[in-house]
Amino acid sequence: MTTVTKFAGLLVGVSMFGLAGGMVASVSAQEAIKICSIDDRSGAAADTGNESFRGLELAVEEANALGGVGGHPIEIIEYDGKTDPQLTASFAARCAEDDGALLILGGNPAAPAAAITPIANEYGIPYFMMSAGTDNLTDNPAPYLFRFGPRNAQDAIAYSQMLEEQGFKRVALVFNTLPFGLDSAAVAKQYLAEHGIEVVAEEGYDVAATDLSPQIINIKAANPEVVLVFPYPADGARVLRTLDQLDVNAPVLVTRSALLKTLREIAGAASNGILIPNTVDTQRADVQAFFSAYEEKFGEKTQPTLYPVIGYDGAKAALDVIARPEVLAAIESGDLAAARTAFRDGVIAIGDFYGLQGKEGAHYHFADDQRHGSPDANWFTFITVENDGADLVLPDMNTFKPAS
C-alpha cells in the first residue's frame, strides 16, 4: 500500500528547527524515502494537480508492491498549493527542511511552479516540474530543476505545422493576460509566421472579465479561418460560449487548458468540435493499459490527457534514479544532502527516459545544460471534444479545414 501524508490546511509558517538547531535531516536504511508533491489541488487549475498526483500515486504503489526501492518503501507527502506562489514556496521549504524529502514533484500552473525553483536551489533539493508551459522557466538551467511537460513554444510548433498542412492562412488569437496567455500568444505569432500564416486579429482579456463580447466581435469582424484560444479553464469556457453565441463560424483550436474537464464542463455544447494539442497517443498499447489501471485504481474514468501521464512519468523516472547505487548509498549513510546531489547527478547521467508522453519511440532527454526533457519531434497528437464536453476522442482531420 502506498503511504501518503496529506497536509490540506494553510501553512502559516515554516519551522526553523533544522536551521536553529544546526541539525541535518537524514534517512537511514529501510526507512521510507520521501517524495514531496506540491501542486494546485483545489484552486483554479486543480484538475492538473489532482490528475498528476494520481499518476504519481500509481507509480509509487507499483514500486511499493515490489518491495520499494532498495528495500525502502516510498512515502508521498502531499501539499495543496492552491495556485498560490507564496504558499507553494513555503511548502517547498517545508518539504526540503522539515519533511526530509529526497525530491519535490509538482508544478502544473506556471506561477506557483516557478516559485518552487529558487527554493529547490537554496536547499539543494531536486525538483521535477510537471506541465507548467511558460517558455522561460527553463531558459537558464537551474541546478536542481527538471521539467517534464512541453513548453508553450512546442505546442506552437505542433499546431503551426498542423495548420499549414490543413491549408489555413488566416488566424485570430484570443488569450488571457496572465503569463500563460501572454507567453502562448507571443510564441504563436512567431511560429505561425514561420509557416506563412497571418494573424488577422489578436484580443487579450482579463481573466476575471465576465463579458467577452467586445473581444469576440472584433475577432468575428476580422473573418479568420480559424480561432486560437489561450485560456485558463473558467475564462476559456466563457470564450467558447461567446464565440458560439456570436456565431463565429470558424474552427477553434484551444491549447492544453481545454484538456481540463472544468473548462469543457462549463462550456458544454460550445466545446464540441474544438481541437486540442495533446501529448498522449491513445493508440499506444501501454497508454491504453495505463488508463485502464487508472480507472481500476480510482474507480472512475478519466480522459486521455497529459496530466495523469506526466505525474506517472515523473515518478517512474524518479524511481529509476533512486535505484542508482550512489543514491541508495547516500540514503543509507544518512546523508540526505549527498543523496539529493547524487539524485540530481543521476538524472543527468541517465539522460534519456522513456515514458507514456509522446508518440511511440519518443523520449525525454536531460543534460547538464538541458533541463527541459520533452522533445520537439514526435511528441504531440491532437484530440477533439464530443458529447457536450464529456469526451475527448481522436479527430477526423479531414473536417478541420478552412471553410471553402
> Which tens digits make up the pLDDT trace of 101-137?
999 999 998 899 999 999 999 999 999 999 998 889 9
Q: What is the mean pLDDT of residues 200-211?
A: 97
Instruction: Map grid coordinates 500568444 to a residue.
Output: 185
Model confidence over 336-354: pLDDT tens digits? 999 999 999 999 999 999 9
Mean pLDDT of the chain: 92
Q: For residue 112, what pLDDT is reported?
A: 94
Q: What is the mean pLDDT of residues 243-267?
A: 95
Residues 290 and 310 in one domain: yes
Residues 13 and 108 in one domain: yes
Give 34's strand partners: 75
In this structure, are residues 125 and 337 in contact, taking their beta carbons and an 8 Å threshold?
no
Number of domains making up the chain: 2
Of 348, 330, 349, 332, which Cα lies nearest the Cα of 340? 330
Q: For residue 7, what pLDDT is reported?
A: 38
Q: What is the mean pLDDT of residues 2-8?
A: 47
Q: For residue 10, what pLDDT is reported?
A: 33
- What gap in Å lies between CA 146 and CA 11, rounded to an integer? 26
Q: Residue 218, Cβ neighbours under 10 Å: how many?
A: 14
9: amino acid identity, one letter: G
Residues 53 and 144 in one domain: yes
Model confidence over 267-303: pLDDT tens digits? 999 999 999 999 999 999 999 999 999 999 999 989 9
Percent of the chain with pLDDT over 90: 86
92: amino acid identity, one letter: A
Domain that holds residue 340: 3-150+284-365
Residues 201 and 313 in one domain: no
For the cut 50, the answer to whether the pLDDT of residue 258 exceeds it is: yes
Taking CA 163 as the corner, what is the angle to CA 158 and CA 166, rounded to the nearest 5 degrees? 125
242: amino acid identity, one letter: T
Which residues, other chains included, contact 42 with Cβ-Cβ below 8 Å and sequence gap of 6+?
80, 82
Percent of the chain with pLDDT over 70: 93
* Residue 59 DSSP one-character state: H
Taking phi first (over 0 means left), then psi (-120 to 50 degrees means alpha), and beta for anything else, what does residue 389 get? left
- pTM value is 0.89
Residues 123 and 37 in one domain: yes
- What gap in Å lies between CA 149 and CA 130, rounded to an integer? 5
Coil, strand or helix at 116: helix
Q: For residue 373, what pLDDT is reported?
A: 98
Residues 255 and 392 in one domain: yes
Q: What is the mean pLDDT of residues 377-385?
A: 97
